[in-house]
Structure 1
Amino acid sequence: MSTVASFKANRKTDSEEWQLRVDLAAAFRLAAELNWHEAVANHFSLAVSADGKKFLMNPRWRHFSRIKASDLLLLDSDDPSTMDRPDAPDPSAWCIHGNMHKSLAHARCILHVHPPYATAIASLADPDIKPIDQNTARYFRRVAIDLGFGGIADEQEEGERLVRALGNANRLMMGNHGVLVVAETVAEAFDDLYYLERACQTLVLAYSTGRPLSVLSDEVAEKTAKGWEAYKPSAFAHFAQMKEILDAKDPSYAD
Structure 2
Amino acid sequence: MSIAGSSLRDTVSAEEWRIRVDLAAAYRLTALFGWDDLVFTHISARVPGPEHHFLINPYGMMFDEITASSLVKIDGEGNKVSDSPYEINPAGFVIHSAVHAARENAHCVMHTHSVNGVAVSAQQGGLLPISQVSMGVLSSLGYHDYEGIALNPDEKPRLVRDLGKHTYLMLRNHGLLTVGATPADAFVAMYFFESACMIQLRAQAGGGPLVHIPQAVLDGVREQMQVATRGVRPGQLAWPGLLRRLDRANPGYAD
Pairwise same-fold verdict (TM > 0.5): yes
Compared CA separation, residues 36 and 82, structure 1 to 2 (3 A) = same
Q: Is the 1:53–1:102 contact (alpha carbons within 8 Å) kept by the matching residues of 2?
A: no
Q: Is the 2:42–2:110 contact (alpha carbons within 8 Å) kept by the matching residues of 1?
A: yes
- Percent identical among aligned pairs is 32
Deviation of the 1:171 alpha carbon: 0.9
1:206 partnered with 2:199: no
Deviation of the 1:88 alpha carbon: 4.2
- Corresponding residue number in structure 1 for 2:183: 186
The one-letter code matched in structure 1 to 2:236 is: F
Deviation of the 1:81 alpha carbon: 5.0
- Corresponding residue number in structure 1 for 2:135: 137
Q: Is the 1:47–1:53 contact (alpha carbons within 8 Å) kept by the matching residues of 2?
A: yes
- Corresponding residue number in structure 2 for 1:54: 53
Secondary structure class of the residue paired with 1:240: helix
Structure 1, unmatched stretches of 5+, are: none
Q: Is the 1:53–1:101 contact (alpha carbons within 8 Å) kept by the matching residues of 2?
A: no
Q: Is the 1:144–1:173 contact (alpha carbons within 8 Å) kept by the matching residues of 2?
A: yes
Q: Is the 2:45–2:183 contact (alpha carbons within 8 Å) kept by the matching residues of 1?
A: yes
- Corresponding residue number in structure 1 for 2:101: 102
- Corresponding residue number in structure 2 for 1:239: 239
Q: Is the 1:107–1:184 contact (alpha carbons within 8 Å) kept by the matching residues of 2?
A: yes
Structure 2, unmatched stretches of 5+, are: none
Separation in structure 1 between the aligned mates of residue 245 and residue 78 of structure 2, nearest angstrom? 39
Separation in structure 2 between the aligned mates of residue 234 and residue 162 of structure 1, nearest angstrom? 25
Separation in structure 1 between the aligned mates of residue 50 and residue 169 of structure 2, nearest angstrom? 22
Q: CA RMSD in A?
A: 2.3
Q: Is the 2:137–2:192 contact (alpha carbons within 8 Å) kept by the matching residues of 1?
A: no
- Corresponding residue number in structure 2 for 1:67: 66
Q: Is the 1:139–1:225 contact (alpha carbons within 8 Å) kept by the matching residues of 2?
A: no
Separation in structure 1 between the aligned mates of residue 37 and residue 79 of structure 2, nearest angstrom? 28
- Corresponding residue number in structure 2 for 1:157: 154
Deviation of the 1:158 alpha carbon: 2.3
Secondary structure class of the residue paired with 1:110: strand
- Corresponding residue number in structure 2 for 1:4: 3
Q: Is the 2:3–2:69 contact (alpha carbons within 8 Å) kept by the matching residues of 1?
A: yes
- Corresponding residue number in structure 1 for 2:33: 34
Separation in structure 2 between the aligned mates of residue 164 and residue 224 of structure 1, nearest angstrom? 24
The one-letter code matched in structure 1 to 2:97 is: G
Deviation of the 1:10 alpha carbon: 5.0
Deviation of the 1:11 alpha carbon: 2.6
